């Protein structure tokens, strides 16, 4: 039974607000404490995790992947830690999109304190979530448990820079055990923070060089969840509402494969606009991505 306080809401298995993906876990939390937008827990989500002390390039990759994925309709899930987690949250915020932070402490505390402003920004559209009661301190033992919720709430987990002995590898392992996709960014052989990602790739994680690599794996399932969440929030499809840019792009698409470059030329839109809109159309099941980076309308 869900309960509401002045600052947070509690939800339990069986409540309408309880995330469906968490019910699939072997050990789903028996209560979730949520500050912010509970509906965010029902959006198609992708977890982005990694080192607390990334290189500048790693932080930039986390930010950019998060921004593009968030623009495409994904909720970005991470752990509010310094480094890659914070960059991922900020990327989603830059896209004016939704991001969720899973805490390893009570919902009434922001840890680390340096991320208090970031937490406040997340709450504008997204949510802070914990399975620990208010007043619970951020003890080391709680974070592996927290990690199972980061991966469990998400369709896949992207690891960006991780040493061989990294908590992010625990999250990736949990994602695999939960039947979720695991993605990893390769890095320089001279970068110690690339070794964890390289180990994941040797163990079968999906190598990621672009957002399209992620979409190819989880796009269909995300499209189903996105459709469901849009129905529940009574949002309309931008194509069905005759958004001018989408109408323009649809006129340029056909059932014969066409490249992004050709679409940019035909539609007059920028490559960033076309890339983002194609991802949304793919999520919504209106187009398919074919070999060679070409696209075609679905019947």
pLDDT tens column, 130-145: 999 999 999 988 998 9
Position 229 scores a pLDDT of 47
Select from 104, 110, 126, 140 the least CA-distant residue to 29.
104
pLDDT tens column, 222-264: 665 555 444 444 344 444 434 677 778 888 888 888 988 888 8
Whether the per-residue pLDDT at 187 is higher than 50: the answer is: yes
Query: Distance of CA 61 to CAs 21, 49, 149, 271, 275, Å?
Result: 27, 11, 23, 19, 17
Position 104 scores a pLDDT of 96
**Are 21 and 44 a contacting pair, CB within 8 Å?**
no
pLDDT tens column, 265-298: 888 888 767 776 776 676 566 788 777 778 888 7
User: What domains does the chain contain, in order, with CATH numbers?
Assistant: 3-212 (3.40.50.450), 236-297 (1.10.10.10)
Position 272 scores a pLDDT of 64
- Looking at residues 146-170, what average pLDDT do you find? 93
Torsional sign, CA 22, 26, 31, 35: negative
Position 240 scores a pLDDT of 44
Position 242 scores a pLDDT of 42
- Looking at residues 94-107, what average pLDDT do you find? 97
**Are 273 and 206 a contacting pair, CB within 8 Å?**
no
Query: Distance of CA 145 to CAs 94, 154, 241, Å?
Result: 29, 15, 43
Question: Does the predicted model carry a pTM greater than 0.85?
Answer: no
Torsional sign, CA 219, 225, 231, 233: negative
pLDDT tens column, 1-58: 555 555 899 999 999 999 999 999 999 999 999 999 999 999 999 999 999 999 999 9
SS3 content of the chain, % helix, strand, coil (to 5): 45, 15, 40
Whether the per-residue pLDDT at 107 is higher than 60: the answer is: yes
Distance, CA of 160 to chain centre: 13
């Amino acid at each position: 039974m869900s309960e509401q306080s002045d600052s947070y809401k509690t939800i339990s298995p069986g409540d309408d607000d309880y995330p469906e993906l968490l019910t699939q876990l072997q050990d789903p939390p028996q209560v979730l404490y949520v500050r912010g937008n509970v509906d965010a827990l029902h959006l198609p989500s992708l977890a982005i995790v990694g080192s607390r002390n990334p290189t500048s390039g790693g932080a930039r990759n986390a930010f950019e992947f998060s921004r593009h994925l968030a623009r495409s309709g994904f909720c970005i899930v991470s752990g509010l830690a310094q480094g890659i987690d914070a960059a991922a949250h900020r990327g989603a915020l830059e896209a004016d999109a939704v991001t969720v932070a899973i805490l390893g402490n009570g919902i009434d505390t922001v840890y680390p304190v340096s991320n208090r402003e970031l937490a406040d920004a997340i709450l504008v559209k997204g949510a802070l979530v914990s399975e620990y009661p208010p007043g619970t301190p951020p003890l080391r033992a709680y974070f592996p448990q927290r990690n199972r919720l980061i991966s469990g709430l998400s369709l896949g987990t992207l690891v960006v820079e991780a040493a061989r002995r990294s908590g992010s590898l625990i999250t990736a392992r949990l994602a695999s055990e939960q039947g979720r996709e695991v993605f990893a960014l390769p890095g320089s052989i001279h970068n110690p923070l690339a070794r964890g990602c390289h180990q994941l790739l040797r163990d079968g994680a999906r190598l990621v060089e672009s957002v399209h690599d992620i979409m190819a794996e989880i796009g269909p399932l995300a499209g189903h969840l996105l459709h469901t969440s849009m129905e529940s929030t009574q949002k309309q499809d931008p194509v069905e509402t005759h958004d001018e840019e989408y109408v323009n792009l649809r006129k340029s698409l056909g059932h014969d494969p066409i490249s992004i470059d050709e679409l940019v030329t035909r539609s007059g839109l920028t490559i960033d606009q076309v890339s983002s809109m194609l991802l949304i159309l793919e999520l919504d099941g209106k187009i398919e991505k074919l070999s060679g980076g070409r696209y075609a309308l679905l019947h």
